[in-house]
Structure 1
Amino acid sequence: MPIVITGATGFLGIHLLPYLLESGQRIIALTRRGRPPVHERLVRCLRASGVPERLVRAVPDQVRGVPVDLNREDLGLTPGEFEKLAAQAGEFWHLAGHVGLNAPARALHRTNVTGTGHLLRLVAAAAPGVRVHHVSTAFVAGGRSSGAVREADLDGAHGFENAYERSKFEAEHYVRRWTAEQRARVVVYRPSILVGDRPSEIGTPSNPLAELARAFGLLTGMPSDGPPGDRSGTVAEPAGAAPLVRIQGRPGAHLNLLPVEAAARLMHELARRLDPVPGTPSTCHLTHHQETPVQAVFEAVGFLHGLRIRLVPGPVADPTELERLAARATRAFAPYAGHRRTYLRTTLRDHGLDRHDIAPIDHAYLVRGMRRI
């Protein structure tokens, strides 16, 4: 029976899709109404991601698009369409979501919480025992800035850095309650910040690194191509005294950045190995085995814009105009410049997937990911 997936054309979805195509399974991609045909979007995004052409050519035969509206209880389908879709589904992957860190709370709740509830209504109408794969985020840990976060932790005691985190926390709580009530078989994935090192193309899924660099360039008015010559990010810093930009942060702060390709691979592997107990979701942290210093992220931004960016504890004293603009450009990212927490990778370890073979997030990787074609 077909796999029903939301968010197939998103940053994570476009990297998970090749695994589903490789298996030869039929796929029903639930897409937003009013967008270009799903086959056209998938083919463009898959090619931009470097997927083998044989898998790209499989899209028309294996993937069927169904336009829906996750904000509506019936997904915008007629009763007959809703029932038919539910009857066809053999498995559900829910990847769609609103990821805007500065987005209005109402919009985030509507997509991430209410939309999830509407999809689960479709799942409830499907055959008993179908598996559900729900993508949450490691940032349901909220404002907790230190310590080791367990996969069982979901209490909100530390508050939240933004409305995005709160909406994903509430969505995961909703999924857990629904799972218990329905005795459903559910896997919850909690990826950290998903990144990539392929230059971003216009019209393809957004890479958070490129978005950070773009926001910085737009607000500061600084060029964003980096030093001339080697575009890999491996060239040395330009000679001369680049302007210094101070940004408030905690020395030693770090974040967990995970290559999106690794997240998709781990999800595929876990889906094959996990057999969730009805009524109790299996929860998995999808994180890198090495943390990335926040200072390293800002050094990469500075490299692209010809600046020296340094984290300083406490408010920036007598900020320059450029520093005020930089603070605005990094506003969404600012709360994380004080985090030092880590995540236990218990499920990955228990299933032999806690390998240290994930690409390192070094300076060259960060710079490549921040570039745009």
Structure 2
Amino acid sequence: MDIALTGGSSFLGLRLAAEFLKRGHRLTLLATDDPATVRARLLRRLKLLGYPVETVAEDGADLDATYVDPEAPHLGLGRIGWEALAERFDVLWHCPAGLDISGAPDFAGGVPAKGARALLPLAARGSRTTAFHQVSTVLAHGAQEPGTVREHCDVLKQGAPRNPYEKAYADADQYVDIVAAQYSVPAVVHRTGILITDLAPHPELPQHSLAQAAAIAGRLFATAEQGYHLTLALPGDPEGSLNLLPVVSAAQAMADIGECAQEPGARLVHVVNGRNTPVSRALNAFEQLFPVRLKLRPPGAAYFPFEVRGLPGGLNGVLPYLRQHHSYETNALRDFGVPVTSPAVTLNYLVRGLRGAGTEAARFPEAPRARATAAPLTLAP
């Protein structure tokens, strides 16, 4: 197949690119930077991840990159160039980049809806059938009652986003659902579990969200006094759980889905781990790495025995996930005949993926500061 991919520099995009190339597909990176630079960066990052680039890409014969501008009419290619691009691909993957602390530029600045609006008309334009795949997250479901989150596309019109991150993906997914039906484009919205890895962080590789949190924590505790040990009480539920999914497992399943024939219109699929990870296990991983003890208490006020300043985005946005009780329907995976095969997300797995992230303080231009304070800081859930 001839595949186009945005977000090839992102945490998931790198693994998707590797899957496509290993399977012998022709891959074109849609880039907002110099195409040669983007192509070289992908090959370099694949090598850092341990992929044998000479066999994955066969010296790059199946890997191309082309410059596009998602802000411009016809992607900045002119009508003739845009229509020629629309005829090239069997599958178009939109993989929005999440927060990338390394600052690498990516398609549409990591804004999911902006990229979807730029790319879905491209999939609809050509005379050949081009399937469109939107990478999303189960967090885009927003606030849900405890229990099983359904997989029907009506769910895309529901939910109450709890933060800008969830809203950004929910808006993009709703756009794909509406426009794919309008243009009769085969489209799949992949809502993935929270993607992680047990590979140690590397300065040139984008990090997953837990590693980013570990880096923030490392910067914070680097300013604390020697021998300082904290006990933090957070509003949450010791019985809560998160769907943590190793990123390679996600990429393999998604590439399998991309090879399946699809009917016109959008289809929602939950690409998730069959087993949730207790919230307490994720917190235990941070306790293994930092001089802190984290306690979950019923929703209400939580108290920090020190003052926190300068944390990117604050902490309020993550608090709902500490009391989450969700599982996810996976009928679409069954219909596609695609399993999600994942290693166990054990405490050791989590610690391996976080160790080292907490020492990369140089990646942050300004340090959050911690100091003892007589009055506890109240953190509202």
Q: Which residue is equivalent to 1:282?
A: 267
Give per-residue Cα distances to partners, 1:277-319, cap 9 Å, x unaligned. 12x3222100111111112111111211132222222345653
Pick from 333, 339, 362: which aligns with 2:346? Answer: 362
Identity across matched positions, percent: 29
Q: Is 1:178 the counterpart of 2:179 in the alignment?
A: yes
Residues 345-360 of structure 1 correspond to what in structure 2 (within 5 A)?
A: 345-354=330-339, 357-360=341-344
Q: Which residue is equivalent to 1:207?
A: 208
Q: Which residue is equivalent to 1:134?
A: 134
Question: Offset at 1:140?
Answer: 2.2
Question: Offset at 1:250?
Answer: 2.1
Q: Is 1:321 the counterpart of 2:298 in the alignment?
A: no
- Residue 19 of structure 1 aligns with an amino acid whose one-letter code is E
Q: Secondary structure at the match of 1:154?
A: helix
Q: Which residue is equivalent to 1:194?
A: 195
- Residue 177 of structure 1 aligns with an amino acid whose one-letter code is I
Between the aligned partners of 1:132 and 1:176, the Cα distance in structure 2 is 11
Q: Secondary structure at the match of 2:281?
A: helix
Give per-residue Cα distances to partners, 1:305-348, cap 9 Å, x unaligned. 13222222234565310688999864442221121111011122
- In the superposition, the TM-score normalised over structure 2's length comes to 0.82
Q: Which residue is equivalent to 1:230?
A: none
Which stretch of the first structure deviates more once superposed, 316-325 or 134-143? 316-325
Which stretch of the first structure deviates more once superposed, 177-186 or 328-337? 328-337
Question: Offset at 1:353?
Answer: 3.6
Give the aligned length. 349
Which stretch of the first structure deviates more once superposed, 79-88 or 27-36? 27-36
Q: Is contact 2:236-2:319 (8 Å) kept?
A: yes
Between the aligned partners of 2:64 and 2:30, the Cα distance in structure 1 is 9
Q: Is contact 1:247-1:326 (8 Å) kept?
A: no
Between the aligned partners of 1:265 and 1:84, the Cα distance in structure 2 is 30
The verdict on how the C-alpha distance between 1:171 and 1:219 changes in structure 2, with shifts beyond 3 A counting, is same
- Residue 138 of structure 2 aligns with an amino acid whose one-letter code is A
Between the aligned partners of 1:59 and 1:283, the Cα distance in structure 2 is 36
Supply the RMSD in Å over aligned alpha carbons. 3.0
Q: Secondary structure at the match of 2:211?
A: helix
- Residue 323 of structure 2 aligns with an amino acid whose one-letter code is G
Instruction: Tell me which protein shows more strand as a share of its residues.
Output: 2
Between the aligned partners of 1:171 and 1:249, the Cα distance in structure 2 is 29
Pick from 254, 259, 276: which aligns with 1:267? Answer: 254
Between the aligned partners of 2:311 and 2:86, the Cα distance in structure 1 is 48
- Residue 261 of structure 1 aligns with an amino acid whose one-letter code is V
Question: Offset at 1:125?
Answer: 2.1
Q: Which residue is equivalent to 2:58?
A: 58
The verdict on how the C-alpha distance between 1:331 and 1:47 changes in structure 2, with shifts beyond 3 A counting, is farther
Between the aligned partners of 1:251 and 1:324, the Cα distance in structure 2 is 27
Q: Which residue is equivalent to 1:94?
A: 94
Q: Is contact 2:98-2:110 (8 Å) kept?
A: no
Structure 1 residues not aligned, in runs of 5+: 101-106, 224-239
- Residue 159 of structure 1 aligns with an amino acid whose one-letter code is A
- Residue 245 of structure 1 aligns with an amino acid whose one-letter code is L
Q: Which residue is equivalent to 2:373?
A: none
Q: Which residue is equivalent to 1:292?
A: 277
Q: Is contact 1:244-1:309 (8 Å) kept?
A: yes
Q: Is contact 1:92-1:132 (8 Å) kept?
A: yes
Q: Which residue is equivalent to 1:9?
A: 9
Q: Secondary structure at the match of 2:93?
A: strand
Between the aligned partners of 1:358 and 1:132, the Cα distance in structure 2 is 25
- Residue 176 of structure 2 aligns with an amino acid whose one-letter code is V
Question: Offset at 1:69?
Answer: 2.4
Q: Is contact 1:220-1:326 (8 Å) kept?
A: no
Between the aligned partners of 1:33 and 1:131, the Cα distance in structure 2 is 25
Between the aligned partners of 2:168 and 2:109, the Cα distance in structure 1 is 5
Between the aligned partners of 1:81 and 1:155, the Cα distance in structure 2 is 33
Q: Secondary structure at the match of 1:75?
A: helix
Q: Which residue is equivalent to 2:371?
A: none
Q: Is 1:255 the counterpart of 2:242 in the alignment?
A: yes
Between the aligned partners of 1:284 and 1:90, the Cα distance in structure 2 is 20
Give per-residue Cα distances to partners, 1:135-177, cap 9 Å, x unaligned. 1221221011511001115255541111121121121111111
Q: Which residue is equivalent to 1:303?
A: 288
Q: Is contact 1:108-1:163 (8 Å) kept?
A: no
- Residue 265 of structure 1 aligns with an amino acid whose one-letter code is Q
Q: Secondary structure at the match of 1:38?
A: helix
Between the aligned partners of 1:196 and 1:183, the Cα distance in structure 2 is 36
The verdict on how the C-alpha distance between 1:108 and 1:268 changes in structure 2, with shifts beyond 3 A counting, is closer
Between the aligned partners of 1:123 and 1:149, the Cα distance in structure 2 is 29
Q: Secondary structure at the match of 2:333?
A: helix
Residues 22-61 of structure 1 correspond to what in structure 2 (within 5 A)?
A: 22-33=22-33, 37-58=37-58, 60-61=60-61
Question: Offset at 1:84?
Answer: 2.2
Question: Offset at 1:178?
Answer: 1.0
